[in-house]
Amino acid sequence: MTEEHGNNGAGESPVFRMQKMYIKDFSFENPNAPEVYRLQNQEPKVDVNLKLNHKKLDDDHFEVSLQITAKIVDKGNDDKTMFIMEIEHAAAYLLKNIPEEHLEMVLSVDCPTLLFPFTRQIVSQMSVDGGFIPFLMEPINFMGLYQNSKQKKDAGQEN
């Protein structure tokens, strides 16, 4: 009887596993090549935008994707664009027996935290392949973003 109960308990333990990573979309534009390689005199202006998406695939599988757009401009030379990079990098996760009240946080914090280092590496390598120094994005505090988003949502509901 104890063994049966033990097996049932094990079947209910939470499961969190990345099953597959993939690039859904990727674009690298170098509109001012080859002139831009001679113009790099000072620290460029960097504009990075991030969007986090997640959707349910089936009962236990979810897709989480990071959409990142980066535009790098040489500030000293008529604001010439050095490069523009867009990526949608995603992963499929197995999320089983996660309590409903924790699911949003797992999808918004844990999943992108696991995915981001790989996205960062792809972006860095592509900037090198595009003829530039590695473009290293700053680490992202997904917990902070989640908490800010939740506070804004809660404040909006109070009004």
Q: What angle do CA 83, 85, 89 make, to 5 degrees?
A: 165
pLDDT of residue 78: 74
Tell me the pLDDT tens digit for each residue of 20-52. 999 999 999 999 999 888 866 678 899 999 999
Task: Name the fold adopted by 14-158.
Answer: Bacterial Protein-export protein SecB (3.10.420)
pLDDT of residue 159: 55
Residue recorded with tokens 């690039």 = 23
State how far the alpha carbon of 129 is from the alpha carbons of 61, 70, 92, 107, 122, in Å. 34, 16, 27, 32, 10
More confident position, 106 or 159: 106
Domain ranges of the chain: 14-158
Percent pLDDT > 70 in the chain is 89
Of 90, 85, 102, 138, nearest in space to 14 by CA:
102
Averaged pLDDT of the chain: 89
Residue 74 has pLDDT above 80, yes or no: yes
Tell me the pLDDT tens digit for each residue of 102-134. 999 999 999 999 999 999 999 999 999 999 999
pLDDT of residue 38: 80
pLDDT of residue 103: 94
State how far the alpha carbon of 118 is from the alpha carbons of 85, 91, 93, 142, 151, in Å. 16, 11, 15, 15, 29
Tell me the three-class secondary structure of the chain, residue by residue. Answer: CHHHHHHHHHHCCCEEEEEEEEEEEEEEECCCCCCHHHHCCCCCEEEEEEEEEEEECCCCEEEEEEEEEEEEEECCCCCEEEEEEEEEEEEEEEEECCCHHHHHHHHHHHHHHHHHHHHHHHHHHHHHHCCCCCCCCCCCCHHHHHHHHHHHHHHHHHC
Cross-sheet strand order for the sheet of 45-56: 15-29, 80-96, 61-74, 45-56
Residue 95 has pLDDT above 50, yes or no: yes
β-bridge pairing 15-29 and 80-96: antiparallel
